[in-house]
Amino acid sequence: MLKIKDLQAGLEGKKILQGINLEVKPGEVHAIMGPNGSGKSTLASVIAGKEEFEMTKGEITFENEDITELDPEERAHKGIFLSFQYPVEIPGVSVTNFIKTAINETRKSKGEKDMPASDMLKMIKEKADLLEIDRKFLSRSLNEGFSGGEKKRNEIFQMAMMEPKLAILDETDSGLDIDALKIVANGVNKLKSKDNAVIVITHYQRLLDYIVPDFVHVLMNGRIVKSGTKELAYELEEKGYDWIKEELV
Amino acid sequence: MAKFTEDDLKKELENKEYEYGFYTDIESETFPVGLNEEIVRAISLKKEEPEWMTEWRLESFRYWKEMVEPEWANVHYEKPDFQNISYYSAPNKKPKYNSIDEVDPELLETFKKLGISLEEQKKLAGVAVDIVMDSVSVATTFKDTLAKKGIIFCSISEAIKNHPELVKKYLGTVVPQRDNFYAALNSAVFSDGSFCYIPKGVRCPMELSTYFRINQAGTGQFERTLVIADEGSYVSYLEGCTAPSRDENQLHAAVVELIALDNAEIKYSTVQNWFPGNKEGKGGVYNFVTKRGLCEKNAKISWTQVETGSAVTWKYPSCVLKGDNSIGEFYSIAVTNNFQQADTGTKMIHLGKNTRSTIISKGISAGKSQNSYRGLVQISPRAENARNFSQCDSLLMGNNCGAHTFPYIEAKNKTAKVEHEATTSKIGEDQIFYCNQRGIDTEKAIALIVNGFSKEVLNKLPMEFAVEAQKLLEISLEGSVG
């Protein structure tokens, strides 16, 4: 589904990603872990197509198509979803209006008509129930005055609505208490299928108790320095990252 | 990673031509340029006005001659040469239409281009349209329905002829002849406009709507509007404006007076989309308008405006809260782009006890434009327990535009409660990227953000007008604010 080869990218002349190789197949869950500043969020932004980041080398293909020249919205239309670490506020635009616009713009890009309002409402109800979201929440302005947990839950709600092929969860666990974490993880698990894939970016192993990864990658200084199974996550939790650094030397 | 950046947007925006720039070739009779007592008399004669009206105009002209053009507003422009303007222009053919088929097809074509064809309007149940084209009313519909309720809705010229007692009683009572330079000018030379009277206890069953349009090259437009809501009545009045593009600046100096008697309510909504000038800042309409309403006991006046056009705007729809317990409201969206300048806001004059006012102003600046909010909240010594809440929000797009807020508060009564909130924000790259990531392209994203920003005001507009207003917001920021 997603193939990244020798990806090098940076911001304002500073090199951050120094040659990433990663392949994600349908049905898989990949976890990317690493210390602060290792390039985890940069990787997520580059896959999503954020323009500030300059890609200097390598290739990113999605379903066998080179997407490096595509705008972020075109990547979104192809089924790439990013759950933001820091979701932005859009005052005056309700959660419902926002997701309706997102879905209909995506449909438009495929030459489809707007989703009928009744279908939309049904889907919103279904997905809100899945994530235990109060319906009142949906008429509030997007992320405005939301608690950290509400913001993250809203991200997963949007993911549920957009039904992406590839979802990248960038530190979705940060700012969540254990109950909210369980609800969010539970939601992600229910949305998982053999046809879609998830990349979980996290500092802590905690989330991986609930969203169990098939693969764990350790990102350090812009490179994936170690890959393994979920056991690697436990090892990291126990020993920190220093032993990997030593291994590398 | 090629992407549509904010810079690209700005370029596209600059290249976006005024969509309503077309010119209807209807035979017109136009006065020679210049202004003196003879011209004032000639206008009055042309309109077959009674002597008292002619005298009123002449009196206004004499005041005007002694006045100087105000310079305090935060706008810069070349002052119009008032002796180089023609003060009267009327379409030549002015038959009385019984049905839409009789209307000059070219005129209908103009309205079609505006997307407000009469056919469409007629279907829009509950909307009566009094069309002012180059100063003279050419069509009025729904008059019969209104007449049954005793509502008078006609051109001000007709009102002067047919309802002189009402015009005499109220004209110039809210905006006196010598109120300001432009009001004096308007009082001397006003060409036409609308008149509306709602009798006691009557709730006007439909939105009254007027479309103004400047059409002749070099013709100043001086509209005069007078709305009187008698005791316990209610009316919602809509005013919408567009103008064809012109190279030379066009002057527009309208006066609108609203009178809400005891327990009456007037809602006055405006969508203004006059030619803002081209991307170099050439041309465009100068919009110097005086709008004011008077509230008697328990009366309420709401001004709602969406200002997207004009090169220079100078406009402060105000409320004089004379009666006890009266309410004034002002909801405004002002969009400026390219070289547009807007200095707009309101005055809430609290005279009566327990008077309340609310001001919500949303300014959106793009390009190299300057957008100013100027507001006065005045609490007189007698206004016990007066309340005001003001909120002024500014949204900036790009780094070359400006937003300014000039709130004035004069409280002379200790029981007054006056609140003022102001925010300034910029459409952030992060907001755009967030929308992009959800499949929403940059133009649509900006439209979404702008609509969200303006929502509190858009919600105050009548339904059919809100749709048009949203369209105008998108047109005026299209390319940059799609």
Per-residue pLDDT band at B91 (split at 50, 70, 90): low
Of B3, B434, B439, which is closest to A77 when you measure between CB atoms?
B439
Q: Is B338 a member of any domain? A: yes
Choose the weakest-confidence range: A56-65, B34-43, B459-468: B459-468
Task: Give kind and range of the element (H or E) at residue A60.
Answer: strand A53-62
Q: Is B482 a member of any domain? A: no
Which chain B residues are Cβ-neighbours of A77 within 8 angstroms?
439
Token output for A170? 């960038």
Token output for B284? 């465009």
Choose the weakest-confidence range: A117-131, B99-113, B175-189: B99-113
Q: For B220-247, what is the mean pLDDT?
A: 79
Which chain A residues are Cβ-neighbours of B447 within 8 angstroms?
none
Tell me the whole-structure pTM to 2 decimals.
0.79
Which chain B residues are Cβ-neighbours of A99 within 8 angstroms?
438
Interface touch B449/A93, C-beta < 8 Å: yes
Interface touch A90/B434, C-beta < 8 Å: yes
The nearest alpha carbon in chain B to A48 belongs to: B437
Token output for B156? 């001000």
Of A90, A109, A158, which is closest to B452 when you measure between CB atoms?
A90
Percent of chain B residues past pLDDT 70, beyond the cut: 77
Per-residue pLDDT band at B143 (split at 50, 70, 90): low
* Enclosing domain of residue B169: 6-476
Interface touch B436/A49, C-beta < 8 Å: yes
Q: Measured between alpha carbons, how far is A230 from B299 in angstroms, rounded to an integer?
A: 71
Whether B454 has its CB under 8 Å from any CB of chain A: the answer is: yes
Whether A162 has its CB under 8 Å from any CB of chain B: the answer is: yes
Q: Measured between alpha carbons, how far is B253 from B288 in angstroms, rounded to an integer?
A: 5
Q: Tell me B203's DSSP state.
A: B
Which pLDDT belongs to residue B211? 52
Which pLDDT belongs to residue B13? 43
Judge whether A49 and A67 are in contact, CB under 8 Å: yes
Q: Tell me B87's DSSP state.
A: -
Task: Tell me the C-alpha to C-alpha distance, in Å, between residue A160 and each of A29, A76, A120, A189, A190.
Answer: 16, 14, 13, 11, 9
B 88-107 near A (Cβ less than 8 A): none
Which pLDDT belongs to residue B249? 58
Whether B444 has its CB under 8 Å from any CB of chain A: the answer is: yes
Of B4, B444, B455, which is closest to A92 when you measure between CB atoms?
B455
Task: Tell me the C-alpha to C-alpha distance, in Å, between residue B398 and each of B5, B277, B338, B473, B482.
Answer: 11, 20, 11, 17, 15
Q: Is B289 a member of any domain? A: yes
Per-residue pLDDT band at A9 (split at 50, 70, 90): very high
Which chain A residues are Cβ-neighbours of B441 within 8 angstroms?
71, 73, 105
Q: Is B481 a member of any domain? A: no
Of A48, A87, A105, which is closest to B440 when you measure between CB atoms?
A105
Amino acid at B460: K
Token output for A211? 């969203």
Burial A166-180 (b: 16+ CB within 10 A, else e): bbbbbbbbebbeeeb
CATH of the domain at A157: 3.40.50.300
Which chain B residues are Cβ-neighbours of A72 within 8 angstroms?
3, 433, 436-437
User: Does pLDDT of A173 surpass 70?
Assistant: yes
Q: For B350-371, what is the mean pLDDT?
A: 93
Judge whether B241 and B221 are in contact, CB under 8 Å: no
Of A52, A91, A103, which is closest to B452 when you measure between CB atoms?
A91
Pairwise pLDDT comparison (B304 vs B241), residue with the higher score: B304
Of B3, B434, B444, which is closest to A71 when you measure between CB atoms?
B3
Per-range mean pLDDT, top range of A37-46, B74-83, B237-246, B398-407: A37-46
User: Does pLDDT of A242 surpass 50?
Assistant: yes
Token output for B12? 């596209």
Q: Are strands A166-170 and B370-379 parallel, antiparallel or unpaired?
A: unpaired
Question: How many angstroms separate the CA of residue B193 from the nearest CA in chain A?
Answer: 36
User: Does pLDDT of B176 surpass 60?
Assistant: yes
Which chain A residues are Cβ-neighbours of B430 within 8 angstroms?
88
Count of structural domains, chain B:
1
Question: How many angstroms separate the CA of residue A120 from the nearest CA in chain B?
Answer: 16
Percent of chain A residues past pLDDT 90, beyond the cut: 71
Which pLDDT belongs to residue A196? 95
Query: For residue range B284-316, what is the model confidence (pLDDT) as tens digits?
Result: 888 889 999 999 999 999 999 988 878 888 899
Which pLDDT belongs to residue B173? 94
- Which residue of B391, B431, B433, B459 to mutate against A (max A Cβ within 10 Å)? B433
User: Does pLDDT of B471 surpass 80?
Assistant: no
Token output for B244? 């064809």
Question: How many angstroms separate the CA of residue B70 from the nearest CA in chain A?
Answer: 37
Judge whether A213 and A182 are in contact, CB under 8 Å: no
Q: For B383-411, what is the mean pLDDT?
A: 92
Q: For B430-435, what is the mean pLDDT?
A: 94
Name every residue whose Cβ is closer than 8 Å to that of residue A20 and which is 6 or more positions away in sequence.
Answer: A4, A6, A7, A8, A43, A58, A219, A222, A223, A224
Query: For residue range A89-123, what is the model confidence (pLDDT) as tens digits?
Result: 999 999 999 999 999 999 999 999 999 988 999 99
Q: Measured between alpha carbons, how far is B13 from B480 in angstroms, rounded to an integer?
A: 5
Which pLDDT belongs to residue B96? 41
Q: For A64-76, what is the mean pLDDT?
A: 95
Count of structural domains, chain A:
1
Task: Tell me the C-alpha to C-alpha distance, in Å, between residue B181 and each of B64, B94, B342, B353, B432.
Answer: 6, 32, 18, 31, 45
The CA angle B444-B447-B451, to the nearest 5 degrees, is: 140
Whether A69 has its CB under 8 Å from any CB of chain B: the answer is: yes
Q: Measured between alpha carbons, how far is B287 from B241 in angstroms, rounded to an integer?
A: 11
Percent of chain B residues past pLDDT 90, beyond the cut: 41
Interface touch A98/B438, C-beta < 8 Å: yes
The nearest alpha carbon in chain B to A68 belongs to: B1
User: Does pLDDT of B186 surpass 70?
Assistant: yes
User: Does pLDDT of A170 surpass 70?
Assistant: yes
Q: For B389-395, what is the mean pLDDT?
A: 94
Whether A49 has its CB under 8 Å from any CB of chain B: the answer is: yes
Q: Measured between alpha carbons, how far is B452 from B235 in angstroms, rounded to an integer?
A: 28
Judge whether B167 and B159 are in contact, CB under 8 Å: yes
* Enclosing domain of residue A76: 2-248
Closest CA to A7 of A26, A28, A25, A21: A21
Q: Tell me B403's DSSP state.
A: E
Query: Tokens 């609490």 correspond to what residue?
Result: B379
Q: For A202-222, what is the mean pLDDT?
A: 91
Question: How many angstroms separate the CA of residue A50 from the nearest CA in chain B?
Answer: 7
Question: Sign (positive/negative) of CA torsion B153, B155, B158, B162?
Answer: positive
Interface touch B434/A76, C-beta < 8 Å: no
Mean pLDDT rounded to a whole number for chain A: 92
How many A×B Cβ pairs under 8 Å?
91
Mean pLDDT rounded to a whole number for chain B: 80
Which pLDDT belongs to residue A237? 84
The nearest alpha carbon in chain B to A74 belongs to: B439
Residue B72: exposure state from Cβ atoms within 10 A (0-12, 13-18, ≥19): exposed
A 170-199 near B (Cβ less than 8 A): none
Query: For residue range B316-329, what is the model confidence (pLDDT) as tens digits?
Result: 999 999 999 999 99
